[in-house]
């Protein structure tokens, strides 16, 4: 386990990205529970990589949700629905991960869904350079049907209590503390337990970032 400043951790992640040797764009997963700090870390990593001359594609699982009317077939607070029903993985593979992977034509779309308006998106198809880097954040990215789509796998680990506290702060303008706590304790945290039981994501992560204290993180790197 290594400990250091946030800048040191981000520098180590950027170094790991640079060490990936593939003949297609490097696909980086930034996985972890809701409110663990995945999006912030992925945004910071993307900025650092661009500063080092990389062409970066930044995308998120939130732009591959299924429409709200189809997202809760087992109930709004169902952990199983959160894990199995919330995201369109077929579309994610078809329009983004496979085109950027081995044998792909590098013609991709970074999103299919607008969460704010609950409407489908069809952004213009773009063509990535062979040396581009996809930085993709989201939940459940190291599940069995996605695990082989990534060239570098990062898992952001945070205690459940920390994620609840962060979610309350993040969502205070839209939801009461009681509403947030109910969603986390009935849906999101049990969904993560289901994920860990079925996919064991930290066993497959190349780097695990312990993010309880974002400015003084710890990280562990698995030999590749």
21: confidence class by pLDDT, cuts 50, 70, 90: very high
How confident is the model over 121-140, as pLDDT tens digits? 999 999 999 999 999 999 99
175: confidence class by pLDDT, cuts 50, 70, 90: confident
Determine the pLDDT at residue 129.
98
| CATH code of residue 56 | 3.40.50.300
b/e 12-39 (16+ beta carbons within 10 angstroms → b)? bbbebbeeeeeebbbbbbbbbbbbbbbb
Give the span between the Cα atoms of 181 and 160, in whole angstroms.
11
82: confidence class by pLDDT, cuts 50, 70, 90: very high
Determine the average pLDDT of the residues in 144-171.
93
The residues, any chain, with a CB within 8 Å of residue 103's CB and separated by 6 or more, are none
Determine the pLDDT at residue 172.
78
Determine the average pLDDT of the residues in 13-24.
97
**What residue numbers bound the domain in which 73 lies?**
2-221
How confident is the model over 33-61, as pLDDT tens digits? 999 999 999 999 999 999 999 999 999 99
Q: What's the mean pLDDT when you consider all of the chain?
A: 96
Total count of domains within the chain: 1
Flag whether pLDDT at 64 surpasses 90: yes
Determine the pLDDT at residue 159.
93
Flag whether pLDDT at 174 surpasses 80: no
Flag whether pLDDT at 171 surpasses 90: no
Least confidently predicted of 3-17, 97-111, 178-192:
178-192
180: confidence class by pLDDT, cuts 50, 70, 90: confident
Flag whether pLDDT at 146 surpasses 90: yes
């Amino acid at each position: 386990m290594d400990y250091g400043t946030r800048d040191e951790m981000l520098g180590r992640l950027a170094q790991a990205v640079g060490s990936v040797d593939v003949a297609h764009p490097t696909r980086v997963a930034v996985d972890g529970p809701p409110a663990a700090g995945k999006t912030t870390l992925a945004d910071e990593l993307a900025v650092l990589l661009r500063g080092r001359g990389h062409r970066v594609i930044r995308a998120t699982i939130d732009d591959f949700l299924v429409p709200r009317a189809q997202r809760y077939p087992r109930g709004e607070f169902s952990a199983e629905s959160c894990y199995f029903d919330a995201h369109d993985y077929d579309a994610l593979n078809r329009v983004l991960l496979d085109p950027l992977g081995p044998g792909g034509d590098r013609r991709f779309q970074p999103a299919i869904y607008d969460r704010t308006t609950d409407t489908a998106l069809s952004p213009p198809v773009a063509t990535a350079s062979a040396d581009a880097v996809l930085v993709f954040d989201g939940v459940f990215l190291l599940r069995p049907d996605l695990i082989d789509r990534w060239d570098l796998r990062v898992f952001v680990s945070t205690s459940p209590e920390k994620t609840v506290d962060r979610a309350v702060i993040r969502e205070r303008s839209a939801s009461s503390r009681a509403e947030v706590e109910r969603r986390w304790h009935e849906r999101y945290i049990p969904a993560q337990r289901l994920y860990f039981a079925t996919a064991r994501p930290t066993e497959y992560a190349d780097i695990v970032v312990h993010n309880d204290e974002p400015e003084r993180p710890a990280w562990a790197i698995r030999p590749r």
